[in-house]
Amino acid sequence: MAKDLVFEIGTEEIPARFMTDALAALKAAAADELEKERIRVRRVDTYGTPRRLVLFLRDVPDRQDDLCEEFKGPAWKNCFDVNGYPTRAAEGFAKSRGVDVSDLIRKPSGNVDYAFAQKSASGLPVEEVLPALLTRVAGKLVFPKNMFWSDPTVRFARPIRWILCLLGDKVIPVELSGVKSGRVTRGHRFMGCSAVEVPDAASYLSVLYDQSVIVDQEKRREKMLAAIASIERELGGTVELEDGLVEENLYLVEYPVPFAGKFDPKYLLLPEEVLITSMKVNQKYFPVRSSSGKLMAMFVGVSNNKPATMDLIREGNERVLRARLEDAAFFWQEDLKKPLSARLDGLKQVVYQEKLGSVYDKTQWMTGYAVWLADQLNLGAEKTLVQRAAQLSKTDLITQMVGEFPELQGVMGRAYAKENGEDPRVALALEEQYLPRSAGDKVPTDIVGALVGLAERIFSMVGAYKLGFRPSGSQDPYGLRRAVRCVNEILWALKIDLDMGKALDEACRTLSLDEEAQKSLREYVASRTFGQLKEQGFPHDLVALAADAEGSNPWQELCLLKAYSSVSAQAWFAGLREAAGRVKNILAKAPSRPETVDAQLFKIDAEKGLWNAVETLREPIAQDVAECRWNDLMERLAGLAPAVAAFFDQVMVMDDDAAVRDNRLALLLHCDRLFSLVGDLSRAGK
């Protein structure tokens, strides 16, 4: 008879940020081990609270499935000699599968008979299999920070304090980190009992609910959000429920008790980001906004305790937030006494990287390089804004506010620049230089901040290669993958027509990067760009084609790729790709590659038609490529396609007459050169 199984690992409080991945890993590990052990259950559930990781298996069978495996071996004719004796091939195959050679079975596969080995075994009772299986499952849990605790052989996020493991009403023996399993769990730290006996797996969730522990995180989420909605109605505002903060609060409590608090309205004079950071990041509170979208002097917190009155908890949280906001108000006033421009020299005391100099040195390089980028884009008057923004870009790092709240770098730069009377676009750039912060994040809205951000990321890339760092596997200590991704996202989002090959060359020159490192960096950037374009859903062959033609300019590469994608399904394009391949193959096999075309030697109209098309389209296609007129280019290629198709339908290139043959090869050479202007068409479709 099928029974439920509950496996609970009780610990000290696990950091909330670890929990989502841990539960996913627990579920994946359990599913994998169950499949290996031939145990089919109805459902695998995982639950988590700060003090427990729980695996719950629904309808576990009494026994494993019986084992029945079949393995294909060598051809039957190679297994036995003319006298019927087994060959070494048969003996080796039988030995490798753990069967006697006499047990090999002859079965057809296709048109050939093969030797097959069959292995079967009866399933064991699951009670015998589960202890080792669950131990392996627990061993597969990996956290961002694993530590050794009481057992020097076991690493875990926090010390394991108890283990509960029940199959139906029977204890399954499991031992982790010196702790043995039983049927005893622990209730809520403040509102439950320190030891609670669970009669069977089916009653586990209800027993803990009676002990003020809502084990199921989704039930916990429902209760928390319902209570917050009720508070929201009472406050007359909107509680700002950011998904990440909801998730974090979810795993900070075992029994959520939301409450409302308030703070002195005078703090609303501080920049909004300071208030939000103090509430969200430091205290895990949810801000509250009015119907007009402005912050209210209120917040909503989530307690893990439900005393007789919430006043004590509310007052305690208000007191903690008040202290933080008072500090922030002090930092704000003190920082405003010294404008950002007066802080430049202070950056000389901040080391960026020992071999690359101070943050001041980095800022100076960024300023010169950002101006160079502005010149490449012919920005004119905006160049002055770019220069000023780059100069001030890191000055907020040495303000007291950013020293206390590092996550506000850039945000406070914008706020202070605005108070200092800087140009609004310069102020905006101080914040937007850091965008995007991660894949999928918003990008700069203005070219000034975009160029400052590009300058910094390119400095990071070239600087890392100068120091000898190279990304490998999952190791990317200097964030080079992220840097390349962000550079491309900025170029694509703002449609910045920049030759990245030239931009990298300039950066490498000014940072004195050696030639080998330069080559390696260019290849790395190209490969990451290639991967990013494939992530957008473009097929490999078209990405390769666009990279051939415009690989050093990400924006134009994307535009060309979109143009090719728009015609890739059309018959003429498929024919042109095939023809480009034929041209390459013929020229590769030709004994010589004559270059001069003599129109007098044309015998067939299709020859003349192709030559006229090549001559007519050579300059326009070259101009389209030079000026990045990709839609016009597609129209011209479409016009070329019929002439190419007619040539290969009607003309035999390798004519018996050597002069005619050489003339046709010369025509194909000119055709190939025309194709090469738009990338290697012969690779498309492969």
Highest mean pLDDT among 296-310, 319-333, 511-525, 610-624: 319-333
pLDDT at 570: 85
List the one residue out of 571, 583, 529, 572 whose CA is nearest residue 553: 529
Provide, rounded to the nearest whole percent, the portion of the chain with pLDDT above 70.
Answer: 98
Mean pLDDT (whole number) for 125-153:
86
Biggest alpha carbon–alpha carbon distance for the chain:
106
Q: If 0-12 CB within 10 Å is exposed, 13-18 middle and 19+ buried, where does residue 390 land?
A: buried
C-alpha 319/C-alpha 321 separation (Å) is 6
pLDDT at 474: 67
b/e burial code for range 494-530 (CB count within 10 A of at least 16 → b): bebebbbeebbebbbeebebeeebbeebbebbbebbb
**CA 543 to chain centroid:** 20
C-alpha 46/C-alpha 27 separation (Å) is 6
Mean pLDDT (whole number) for 53-63:
95
Whether the ω angle into residue 436 lies within 30 degrees of 0, i.e. cis, is yes
Position 493 pLDDT exceeds 90: yes
List the one residue out of 142, 98, 147 whose CA is nearest residue 118: 98
C-alpha 98/C-alpha 118 separation (Å) is 10
Position 254 pLDDT exceeds 70: yes
Supply angle C-alpha 484, 489, 490, rounded to 5: 100
At 254, list the tokens: 């075992």
At 93, list the tokens: 């195959």
C-alpha 547/C-alpha 297 separation (Å) is 54
pLDDT at 475: 67
pLDDT at 558: 92
Which pLDDT band holds residue 184 (cuts at 50, 70, 90)? very high
The answer to whether 641 touches 573, Cβ cutoff 8 Å, is yes
Q: Minimum mean pLDDT among 95-104, 236-245, 628-637: which range? A: 628-637
pLDDT at 525: 92
pLDDT at 316: 93
Position 685 pLDDT exceeds 60: no
User: What H or E segment, with its residue span, contains residue 106?
Assistant: strand 105-109
C-alpha 184/C-alpha 161 separation (Å) is 11
Beta-carbon contacts of residue 294 (< 8 Å; ≥ 6 apart) = none
Supply angle C-alpha 327, 256, 289, rounded to 5: 50
CATH numeric code, 568-677 = 1.10.730
pLDDT at 631: 84
Question: Following CA atoms 37, 43, 44, 49 in sequence, which dihedral angle do they give, to the nearest 10 degrees?
Answer: -160
List the one residue out of 388, 404, 407, 398 whose CA is nearest residue 359: 398
DSSP 279: I
Considering only residues 476 and 533, tell me which one the structure prediction assigns the higher pLDDT: 533
pLDDT at 271: 94
C-alpha 51/C-alpha 49 separation (Å) is 5
Which pLDDT band holds residue 355 (cuts at 50, 70, 90)? confident
DSSP 54: E
Position 229 pLDDT exceeds 60: yes
Mean pLDDT (whole number) for 15-24:
95
List the one residue out of 630, 629, 622, 627 whose CA is nearest residue 567: 630
Q: Minimum mean pLDDT among 21-30, 92-101, 103-112, 475-484: which range? A: 475-484
Position 476 pLDDT exceeds 80: no
C-alpha 23/C-alpha 7 separation (Å) is 13
The answer to whether 120 touches 68, Cβ cutoff 8 Å, is yes
C-alpha 673/C-alpha 667 separation (Å) is 10
C-alpha 342/C-alpha 315 separation (Å) is 41
What single-letter amino acid sits at 241? L
Q: What's the chain's average pLDDT?
A: 91
In angstroms, the first-to-last Cα distance of the chain is 55
Q: Minimum mean pLDDT among 197-201, 256-260, 656-660: which range? A: 656-660
C-alpha 276/C-alpha 284 separation (Å) is 10
User: What H or E segment, with its residue span, contains residue 163?
Assistant: strand 160-167
Mean pLDDT (whole number) for 120-126:
87
What single-letter amino acid sits at 135? T
Q: Which residues pair with 564 in a beta bridge?
A: none
pLDDT at 249: 97
Secondary-structure percent of the chain, ordered helix, strand, coil, rounded to 5: 55, 15, 30
Q: How far is CA 332 from CA 270, 273, 319, 327, 337, in A?
A: 8, 12, 20, 9, 9
Mean pLDDT (whole number) for 76-98:
90
pLDDT tens for 209-221 read 999 999 999 999 9
CA-based radius of gyration for the chain: 35
pLDDT at 87: 92
Position 307 pLDDT exceeds 80: no
Position 628 pLDDT exceeds 90: no
DSSP 441: -
User: What H or E segment, with its residue span, contains residue 589?
Assistant: helix 571-589
pLDDT tens for 29-56 read 999 999 999 999 999 999 999 999 999 9
Mean pLDDT (whole number) for 520-542:
91
Q: Minimum mean pLDDT among 306-310, 373-377, 411-415: which range? A: 306-310
List the one residue out of 221, 191, 215 whose CA is nearest residue 201: 215
pLDDT tens for 433-459 read 999 988 788 999 999 999 999 999 999
Mean pLDDT (whole number) for 504-518:
93
pLDDT at 620: 87
DSSP letter string, 465-482 = HHTT---BTTB-TT-HHH
Domain limits of the chain? 3-63+125-211, 67-121, 217-337, 354-537, 568-677
Q: Minimum mean pLDDT among 111-120, 123-132, 423-432, 652-661: which range? A: 652-661
C-alpha 382/C-alpha 136 separation (Å) is 61
Position 22 pLDDT exceeds 90: yes
Position 415 pLDDT exceeds 90: yes
Position 130 pLDDT exceeds 90: yes
The answer to whether 5 touches 32, Cβ cutoff 8 Å, is no
